[in-house]
Every structure is written in C-alpha cells, then in structure tokens.
Homo-oligomer: A and B are copies of this chain.
Amino acid sequence: MTTEMSQKPHDRLAAALSDEMAAVSALIRERMSSEHAPRIPEVTAHLVEAGGKRLRPMLTLAAAALCGYDGPYHIHLATTVEFIHTATLLHDDVVDESNQRRGRPTANLLWDNQSSVLVGDYLFARSFQLMTEPGSMRVMQILSNAAATIAEGEVLQLTAAQNLATDESVYLQVVRGKTAALFSAATEVGGVIADAPQEIVTALFDYGDALGISFQIVDDLLDYQGQEDATGKNIGDDFRERKLTLPVIKAVALADDEERAFWTRTIERGKQEDGDLEHAIALLNKHGTLTATQADALAWAQKAKSALAPLPAHDIKDMLIDLADYVVSRIS
C-alpha cells in the first residue's frame, strides 16, 4: 500500500481538489463578513476556524470535477452548501441547547442564543445570494428544495424523537432531512452546473443520498457503541436526550410488554434513573439491533458505491468509492 493509499479518502480528495478548496475558503471568508455588523464575522470565524472537514463542499467540487466542469461556479455552489450547513449548525446548537461542537464551546455559549439565531439567518440569506450567481434555475431549485427539506426534517425530529410510534420510515425521513438532503444536493448541483446528462446527475444524487444516510446511521450507532473521543460526544447522549434513533426503534419493534414499559418511561416520559443506559444497551444487544443497524449502514454505503457505476473511470470516482467505505469503517 502506497503512502497515498493509506491516507484517509477525504484527505486524498482535499489534496486532489486543493486549488478549488482554497478558492472555496477564500469565498467563505469574503462572503461571511459584514460591513455593518462586526458580531457576524466574529461568530462565523469561530465556526469556520473550528476546522470542520468541509466534506459537503468537497462533494460538490468532486462531482463537478468528475463531470469535467471548467467554469468558475462550482466554487460558489460549494460555498453555498457550506453556508447552509453552518447556518443549520448554529440553529441546531440553539435547538439542542448544546455547549460543545467539534470539541470547542458553541457560539450560543460564547455569545448568546440571539447571535446564533440571527447569524444563522444571515448565513442562510448569504447562501441564497450565492446560489443565484451562476444564473441556473435548476441549481436554485435543488438548493432551495434542500433547505426546505432540512428544516422539515428537523421539525419532524422535534415531534418524532420522543414518540415510540416512530418507525423506520419516519426515521429515514428525519435522516434524509437532517443529513442526506444536503449531501445529495451537494453532489447533484456539481453535476448540474457541469451540464452532465440526466443519468449522471441522478447517479450523483443517489450517491450523496445514500452516503448521507449511511453517515447518519453510523453516527447514531456510535452513540451506543463508540469510544469517547475528541468530538466531545459521550456514549448515550442520544438516550439521555431521549432521541429515538435506529437501534432503539428496532428494539421497540421487538419489545415485550416489560421492555416497552421501560422505553415508554425512559424515552417518552423521560424519567431516567442510574443504570437505565446500561439496561438500554443490554436490550439492544438482546435483540441484536446494534448488529442490524450496522448492517443497514453497510447496505447504504454499498448503495452509494453502486450508484457511481454510470460515471466514467476517474481518480476522484475511486476516492468517492473509498469515502463510502471509510464512513462505515468506524463501525465495521
């Protein structure tokens, strides 16, 4: 295995697209500023410098490169995607009353909820300004539809998360909203801006959709069986926050009366005691739902890879395939 192959696939993508990623960084800095309100660049700089992987804009650049795009607008679209993502992070931290993100204090803690809500609104508005610049109606429709789907998924999660009637199809809707909608829009607009044939655009959409779903299922699984790490996320956060995720949904479907009463008390009514998390994990193991959830994540990653079949051979295609494997490598 060469040194290059041993690198993580998103690092290889970042290296292959380094000029474009630098242009995206420059455009982010330019457009996140505000002539009139100095609080805005303070808050956005805090987030931007927190050093996320910029996976979503990279997907747009990768899709555009795969389709041979040679214009300037993939940079605008990648920046749009990152602004939508950053705006939703700001609002999510208010909604979840979070104190930490990527191992650093959140903006709502460092400033206040007001700043997080309003600076998030500013970034949404900036993203809409940016998405108009390529002058493509189809691109604008894809990205504004994604923004609506994201908000809809988040609202659905508010009401579905603590409701034991939530089944796998509702879970999938929430996951498509909160995660996959932006992944699939990111890859789709990369193809659309390059004027790729519909078959290719559909393949890129399907890849982003399946990758995003797999990504979120892995996240939900790690919440029950991961290692505590630098991300500041602790085992059992979702259980303590009474979020009904796939391992629990599968366990509720297989629960006997006593188990159902346990889930009703801990998730629906939120009355949790010492030892409940351990008992919950024991129930997930008893019904094999952690293994079943892992199988689902792997199946979605496989779907992502298969979706790329219509695309021509290309270094970046190989990296996207490896990326799908990498996403699930944390759980397999």
Contact = CB atoms under 8 A, between A and B. Distances in A.
For A124, A126, A155, the residue with the greatest tally of chain B CB atoms inside 10 Å of its CB is A155
A317 to B, nearest CB: 31
Interface in A157-193: 158-159, 173, 177
Contact of A37 (B126, B144, B147, B156): B156
Contact of A147 (B125, B155, B173): B125
A272 to B, nearest CB: 20
B125 A36 contact: no
A189 to B, nearest CB: 14
Interface string A118-159: 111110111011001001010011001101101111111011
A94 interface: yes
A135 B137 contact: yes
Interface residues of A, number: 44
A117 interface: yes
DSSP class of A's interface residues: helix, strand, loop or mixed?
Answer: helix
B148 A125 contact: yes
Interface of A: 34, 36-40, 88, 91, 94-95, 113-115, 117-122, 124-126, 128-129, 132, 135, 137, 140-141, 144-145, 147-148, 150-156, 158-159, 173, 177
15 contacts: A36-B156, A37-B155, A37-B159, A91-B118, A94-B117, A121-B151, A121-B154, A122-B155, A125-B144, A125-B151, A128-B144, A129-B144, A129-B148, A132-B137, A140-B140
